[in-house]
Amino acid sequence: MVVKTNTKTFEEALYMTGFGRFNCLMMLVNISVILAMAFEVVSVAYLVPASACELKTTNAQQGLMAGIPLMGIIATSHFWGYLADTRGRRKILIVCMSLGFLAGSLSALSPNWIMFSVLKFLSSCAVSGTYALALTLLSECTPHHKRSIMVALTSTIYLTSTGIMAVLTIPVLHLDMAYPIPYLNIDFIPWRLLTLVFAFPCAFAALALYFAFESPRFLLRIGEEEKALNIIKSIFSINSGKSGDDFNVDSLILGEDAGKFVKGMWASLAAQTIPLLKPPLLKNTLLLGVLFTIIYFALNSVLVWLPFIADAMMKSIEKGDNNLTICDMIRRVQNTPIEDVNQDCALNEFGMISVFIISVMIATFNVVLSTLINKMGRKRLLVCVQSLSLCLGSGLLYVNQSKLITPLSRLDFVMIHLRKHKCIDFQRRRGR
């Protein structure tokens, strides 16, 4: 009988693997997942106005199309979280990315706005939980002393995704192409190509995840100690360049109270959900639910319509309408005679550059505010960001000078987006 004498907790063993090439590769994998999720969910912000000419959608129909991804996220995010906790983070992420790519790609062939909405709903359902799952996988493969930095860097990349998408729209939507597809009675024009461009990162992320490791912490929690130890040894080997046999650990223990692992779908789902609806977690669950509802209500509306707003503002300014409020600018563009409308529905280049600048500002503010969390406190910082966003958003409605409208709209969107991420951080501290 072999006696295992060198036993380490999971965190101790993970610390012993060091920090190096594996962790950088793992961060790149997670960045690809997060960008794929953002591209698929936020793509409606660019595809809805770009497809309006061909699909002949009304303002009401465009609003419904733009809100579809949020409905998908609300409908299935908890379901994917449950599957990840019972079937594995990596496996579920691969399934999510594959389904997202399939539904997102098929939406490029939509003959009407209804089919487009259905497919976008399915793609958003598929990728709805991937942001949290990707960060979880990254955290459970990163030593504790480097974990916060890696998560912060990955979150910053996510904040630039809308800007990257805006830049991609400039060359794609200005292509002169139209290939008829007789069986569907449609023409394959630039906005359909842009749909494929936005869906492609899901395929790339699924491929990257195929070569990645499962979370060793998850394997240890479900009793797969040998598999977890083998992954830990592989991480050590990749980081140090040494053989896994040189890793001086014989066995692993979780070293924390993670709760009892429950088998069975409904029993497991109840075990994870019911404690959130009972004291002492009920108060925090309700509080955070209200906060997230308010923040996402503001964030999603601005995020989805930002390219449309930026496009309308720039077109209005180009026509010399400099002394209008932002609402008047949008009305002026909407009421433009049909013969004066650009029939290819290509979004204004300067408007998309403006969206890119906003994304860079968001990422920069996220880094700056992340350094202030420990000094100001999470709750105080969240209150300050929300208050500033309220003031900027209210002032935006009454300013009628284009030179003031543009910076105010940028700052307001920055503060709204940052409220979401500080609330997520606040939840992490209060809800566990």
Give the per-residue pLDDT at 339. Answer: 47
List the pLDDT tens digit at each of the 432 positions of the chain. Answer: 344 568 888 999 999 999 999 999 999 999 999 999 999 988 998 999 889 888 988 878 988 898 888 888 888 887 888 888 888 999 999 999 999 999 999 999 999 999 999 999 999 999 988 988 999 999 999 998 888 788 777 878 877 888 899 999 999 988 888 899 988 889 999 999 999 999 999 999 999 999 999 999 999 988 899 999 999 999 999 999 888 888 888 888 887 655 555 555 566 667 667 777 888 888 888 888 788 777 777 776 777 778 888 887 777 777 766 677 777 777 776 665 544 444 557 787 888 888 888 888 878 887 787 777 767 777 888 788 888 888 877 777 777 655 555 555 555 555 555 555 555 454 545 444
Provide the CA 81 distance to its chain's centre, in angstroms. Answer: 15
Give the per-residue pLDDT at 412. Answer: 57
Helix (H/G/I), strand (E/B), else coil: 56: coil
Identify the CA nearest to 197 among candidates 163, 157, 165.
165
331, part of any domain: yes
Give the per-residue pLDDT at 120. Answer: 95
Residue 233 belongs to a domain with what CATH number?
Answer: 1.20.1250.20
- The answer to whether the CB of 188 falls within 8 A of the CB of 181 is yes
Side-chain half-sphere CA neighbours of 406 within 13 A: 18
Give the per-residue pLDDT at 400. Answer: 66
281, part of any domain: yes
149, part of any domain: yes
Helix segments in 89-143, DSSP class H: 89-106, 113-127, 130-139
The neighbour count for residue 38, using CB atoms within 10 Å, is 23
Structure token pair of residue 21: 């090439």
**What is the bridge-based pairing of β-strands 251-253 and 179-181?**
unpaired
Beta bridge partners of 251: 7
Identify the CA nearest to 96 among candidates 118, 56, 129.
129
Query: For 7, phi and psi rounded to 5 degrees?
Result: -105, 135
263, part of any domain: yes
Residues in the chain: 432
Give the per-residue pLDDT at 47. Answer: 93
Range of the domain at 330: 7-431
Give the per-residue pLDDT at 338. Answer: 45
Count of domains forming the chain = 1
Distance CA 285, CA 303 (A): 25
- The answer to whether the CB of 178 falls within 8 A of the CB of 188 is yes
1, part of any domain: no
Distance CA 325, CA 304 (A): 20
2, part of any domain: no
Give the per-residue pLDDT at 2. Answer: 45
Provide the CA 98 distance to its chain's centre, in angstroms. Answer: 16
Give the per-residue pLDDT at 309. Answer: 80
Distance CA 33, CA 205 (A): 5
Helices (H) and strands (E) in the chain, counts: 18, 4
Give the per-residue pLDDT at 31. Answer: 92
199, part of any domain: yes
366, part of any domain: yes
